[in-house]
Amino acid sequence: MIRFRWWITLLLAVCGGALAEGQTFRIPTRPGVETSVYWEAQEGAKATVFLFTGGNGGYGKVVDGKPTSHNFLARSVALFLADGFNVAIFGLASDTPALDYGDRVNPKHLADVRAALDFVRGKSPAPVWLVGTSRGTVSAAYVAIASVDDPGIAGLVLTSSVTAFKKEGAVPTQNLAALKLPVLVVHHASDACAICRPYEVDWIMKGLKNAPLKKLMMITGGTNPTGDPCESYHYHAYIGQEQEVVDRMSAWMHNPVN
């Protein structure tokens, strides 16, 4: 029942109850390869959030203009829209049915993301915030580091970051010192995922030596965590406080401060 009410809340969050609809596109990204992108515009948006989901990536099927993935970012589309952002979600390439850790720090992935970013910019000239969650933080950090000279990237947001050094592309192992843009790091103090331990987040903050603005939001609270502690309905994915977390993230992106 809680999850049902959550989906109803999301569906009614935009336009005073009117249901906005997004679209999914397949765009050419490399020779012979297409990559899917979900796109939904918000009237008057001053920025776009470009979302990298966790796990194997993607956003599930799109039903009635909404992604069906239960991933924290995918299920929060309406919340980002209500906070004044266009929303894009990076999907999967036709030759990559699942994005493992190594796939996310691969030049092919970077080529796919850059083509998807070009497509999104064709939809809106608004600056782009790269936002990743869980395994998606590997992608978001990798793309941000490779895009340090891109003036269209407004900043980077990392939620429930992969911190375990044993994982290829774990955020603390990447060249974070190369980042010269605002970075927001969001983590739940009770995150029980073994590869996203809260006490290791400090390694990320220490690595952001040249970020002009950086902020750590350590989240507490939440309700009724269930299932795998690395999955979508546990503290790792901010269960029971999605709106609070998205609103805090959005407020910072609109006005980044240390």
Map out the domains of the chain as residue ranges: 21-254
Q: What is the DSSP string of the chain?
A: -HHHHHHHHHHTSSGGG-----EEEEEEEETTEEEEEEEE--TT-SEEEEEE-STT-----EETTEE---STTGGGHHHHHHTTEEEEEEEEETT-SS--TGGGGSHHHHHHHHHHHHHHHHH--S-EEEEEETTHHHHHHHHHHHTTT-TTEEEEEEES----TTSTT-GGGS-GGG--S-EEEEEETT---TTS-GGGHHHHHHH-TT-SSEEEEEE---S---S-TTSTTSGGGTTT-HHHHHHHHHHHHHS---
The percentage of the chain sitting over the pLDDT mark of 90, rounded to a whole number, equals 91
Q: What is the pLDDT, as a whole number, of residue 16?
A: 40
- Per-residue pLDDT band for 220 (boundaries 50, 70, 90) equals very high
For residue range 51-85, list pLDDT tens digits in order: 999 999 999 999 999 999 999 999 999 999 999 99
Residue 9 pLDDT > 60: no
Please compute the mean of the pLDDT values over residues 202-207 and round it to a whole number: 98
Residue 24 pLDDT > 90: yes
Residue 250 pLDDT > 70: yes
Specify the pTM.
Answer: 0.92
CATH class in words for 21-254: alpha beta
